[in-house]
Amino acid sequence: MTAWIPGEADGEAYKRYAPATLRNRDAILAVLRAALPSSGLVLEVASGSGEHAVHFAAALPALDWQPSDPDPAALASIEAWRAEARLPNLRAPMLLDAAADWPIDRADAMVCINMTHISPWAATVGLFTHGARLLQTGAPLILYGPYFQADVAPAPSNVEFDASLRARDPRWGIRALEDVAALATTQGFALDCVEAMPANNLTLIFRRS
């Protein structure tokens, strides 16, 4: 397993802060408590600032938490938060691009927060393709973020958010839940549960079938 090797990323200068984290972390944690296994290795894909990783690892001490991200600045932030927290079950961040090869051979669960709408579709394809290789039958792959649903009127804020994302990068945008579920099925996953979350977000729980 290849982890990112930190330099001196243990100070405030390296930390990133995601304001949404404080608002959503406990709601996400409540879902994770019910969906994750009681022990084992959780791979978090696209960990961003690292604030979620610290919060979840502290709250779930029986699980080993492996954060990852493709952005070197995000990796430095994750390591800075990790160095401060000094949690024995929080591993050094791993350089991982969801759309490319993955430097990890196994996991007992996967978590991905707020990635699918701010990345090309190829990243979501990679998430399920590699998840099928890493996870055993019944293991969860958990996504959090905004999704459109065919039978649900979209929130105006999500419509505006989608337009702003596509203006920034035409490869980005809020995904249709049905498209993600169809992709998951091709890779041997079944949609187990859809949880409504604050601020017009959803948690999607897929399981390896």
71-121 pLDDT, tens per residue? 999 999 999 999 999 999 999 999 999 999 999 999 999 999 999 999 999
Q: Say how far apart CA 37 and CA 198 lie, in whole Å.
A: 24
Report the pLDDT value the prediction gives residue 9, as an integer from 0 to 100: 43
| Residue predicted with more confidence, 177 or 7 | 177
Report the pLDDT value the prediction gives residue 150, as an integer from 0 to 100: 94
Any idea what DSSP says for residue 100?
A: S
Q: pLDDT tens across 135-154, in order?
A: 999 999 999 999 999 999 99
Q: Phi and psi for 193 in degrees, rounded to 5?
A: -160, 145
Residue 19 amino acid letter = P
Q: Say how far apart CA 110 and CA 69 lie, in whole Å.
A: 13
CA 118 vs. chain centroid, Å, equals 12
Report the pLDDT value the prediction gives residue 11, as an integer from 0 to 100: 65
Rounded to 10°, the helix 51-59/19-35 angle is: 40
Q: Say how far apart CA 130 and CA 88 lie, in whole Å.
A: 26
The pTM for the full model equals 0.92
Closest CA to 200 of 142, 160, 140: 160
Closest CA to 176 of 198, 197, 199, 194: 194
pLDDT at 27 over 80: yes
Q: Which secondary structure element, helix H or strand E, spans residue 190, and what is its range? A: strand 189-197
Q: Say how far apart CA 122 and CA 201 lie, in whole Å.
A: 22
Report the pLDDT value the prediction gives residue 15, as an integer from 0 to 100: 80
Percent of the chain with pLDDT over 70: 94
Q: How many CB atoms lie within 10 A of CB 45?
A: 27
pLDDT at 10 over 70: no
* pLDDT tier, 1 (very low <50, low <70, confident <90, very high otherwise): very low
pLDDT at 2 over 90: no
